[in-house]
A and B are shown apart, each in its own frame.
Chain A
Amino acid sequence: MVEVTHLTKCYGDIKAVDDISFTVESGEILGFLGPNGAGKSTTMNMITGYLSSTSGTVTIDGHEILEEPKLAKSKIGYLPEIPPLYIDMTVRKYLEFMFDLKKVRLPKDEHIKEVMKLVRIEQQSERVIKHLSKGYRQRVGFAQALLGNPPVIILDEPTVGLDPNQIIEIRNLIKSLGKKHTVIFSSHVLSEVSATCDRVIVISNGKIIADAKTSELSVVSSGKQKLSLIVEGTPSTVTDAISKIPAVIKVSKGQDMGENSAKYMVEYQTDTDIRREVFYAMARNNCAILEMQSGNETLEDAFLRITNADQTKNKKKVRGVN
């Protein structure tokens, strides 16, 4: 549905987006994750044809955005970071204008009513946009993106500025849209991405540094699982006993917790569960387990680790050049 190949955007010497390629299938919800200034908005602006790429192509449903802009753009509904509103118009007038601008061929009044109902702004339809709060403005922007039921919906940080209830509503809306449409949305809120997306692309410094199913991201990126323990007993006995378990990759002793007990970190292979074996191994050695915690990375950890690693790598590169 959406095919991005070797997309690059340079501003002078700075590469805002650096050779990005990915494909989004129809009916997929793709989360675009990255720290501020990573190139999320630039990428989205290029996909929607607001900016031109320095090199690389974007194809929407078989239409190249720069070759056949009208056809490609007619298949996209876009909500930019700042909703593109005419603040001196009423909500209804604005949506009517966007309906005409997008040359939508659907019964006008019904369709607009339907969309307003979907994002819950029917009550505000006769109000002038400049008098609306940020949350409502965001929804009007959302409504505008949905006009004409475009097969591809692109949302740039759609939940910024909304209150928690509204955020949940919008998330549910995105989920329900994902059944019929292809949705790409960016965010720097991780829980949001993990709650709504099928797939996540993590982008940092203009490069894709991870592209995986949401459920796999934390594991895929590290290739191992973790267990954190507090055990009472001689440290050497404990580490020896644990490292004898076949799936264990590495055991390391953390800080002492007093009274002959200490913290241990165990790294082990994915697709295995060593908690029982650890329990029996400790029991055989008369070491009491005081605490056992699955130390698997959350999406949050994964994100921090990936982006930080990328940044330090870049710093080293820069130093190397100098």
Chain B
Amino acid sequence: MGAILKRELSAYFNSAIAYVAMTVIFLVSGFLFAFNCFLSNNASLSAVFGYTIYIIVFIIPIITMKSFAEERRQKSDQALLTAPVSLTSIVMGKFLAAFILYVICCSIFIVYAIVISFFTAPDWSVTLCTWLGLILFGGALIAVDIFFSVLTESTIIAAILGIAFGGLISFSSMINYAVSNVISIDFVTQLCEKLNFTSYYSDFTYGILNISDVLFFVSVAGLFIFFTVRVLEKRRWS
């Protein structure tokens, strides 16, 4: 796992992906920080955290799109699958590499909090809780997007699936509203509610560390890592 993690991380930083991801997240959150905090004399980072989510759901598929799709296209997966390592550690290595890059991207929010602390005492408990929520949210999404990457040989398709999923979960309340105006089916409404990742995240933004929200993100991550391992396993048998 260690070798794969190291290679994946260095691949991110040797290509443009890591820098693109960091630039976009830093830039967007920087703008939000400038407008919502500096220009409006506001010490709360909640708006910055809240809106950056909508960028993150599109950035994560870009980070993860290559992880398995590219390997399969280049046939380098043969090296991994014939090496004396388990499938789980292959998937975990890739997951952790993407996760570490994501944490690096999100570290900018801690910097914002520190900047605010020069002017006034920020609400550290809320800030750190929201940050934790953001990390967990990203972790779950990374696992889902890695699963999309293992399904296909094309990085483009993996990215599109990931972006579509990102759009679905972040705008599911809007979709729900639009759909329920036309036709009201309980099942669809409930599905949209459950799929709404941001609703699980919103508790964190109030500074509430709800164990069920934490469990939701952790179990989504665990489930999709498991699915990814199964897809790899299944491919050997078919």
Contact = CB atoms under 8 A, between A and B. Distances in A.
Verify that A and B bind, or say they do not: yes
Interface of A: 11, 45, 48-52, 69-71, 73-74, 76, 78, 80, 82, 84-89, 93, 97-98, 100-103, 144
A50 B14 contact: no
Contacts of B78: 45, 50, 78, 80, 82, 84
Contacts of A11: 238
B84 A86 contact: no
B236 A52 contact: yes
B84 A102 contact: yes
B53 to A, nearest CB: 31
Nearest to A70: B84
Interface residues of B, number: 25
A101 B80 CA distance: 8
Contacts of B76: 84-86
B86 interface: yes
A73 B83 contact: yes
B2 interface: yes
Given A84-B78, A88-B15, A100 B3 contact: yes
B114 to A, nearest CB: 35
Contacts of B238: 11
Contacts of A76: 82
Given A70-B86, A85-B76, A86-B76, A101 B81 contact: no
A126 to B, nearest CB: 14
A101 to B, nearest CB: 4
Interface of B: 2-4, 6-7, 10-11, 14-15, 74-86, 236-238
Contact of A102 (B77, B81, B83): B83
A135 B83 CA distance: 24
B14 to A, nearest CB: 6
Nearest to A72: B84
Given A80-B78, A85-B74, A51 B3 contact: no
Nearest to B76: A84
Contacts of A84: 74-80
Given A86-B11, A97-B7, A100-B3, A50 B81 contact: yes
Contacts of B11: 86, 88-89
Contacts of A70: 84-86
11 contacts: A11-B238, A51-B236, A70-B85, A73-B83, A80-B82, A82-B75, A87-B74, A89-B11, A97-B3, A100-B3, A144-B79
B4 A101 contact: yes
Given A85-B74, A86-B7, A97-B7, A49 B81 contact: yes
B82 A52 contact: no
Contacts of A51: 236
A71 to B, nearest CB: 7
A103 B3 CA distance: 9
Contacts of B4: 101
Contacts of A93: 10
Given A51-B236, A86-B7, A103 B79 contact: no
A49 B3 contact: no
A172 B75 CA distance: 27
Contacts of B79: 84, 98, 101, 144
Given A82-B75, A84-B79, A97-B6, A69 B84 contact: yes
Contact of B82 (A50, A88, A89): A50
Nearest to B11: A88
Contacts of A100: 2-3, 6
Contacts of A52: 236-237
Nearest to A78: B82
A97 B4 CA distance: 8
Given A51-B236, A71-B84, A84-B80, 14 more contacts: A45-B78, A49-B81, A49-B82, A50-B81, A70-B84, A70-B85, A70-B86, A73-B84, A74-B84, A78-B82, A84-B74, A97-B6, A100-B2, A101-B85
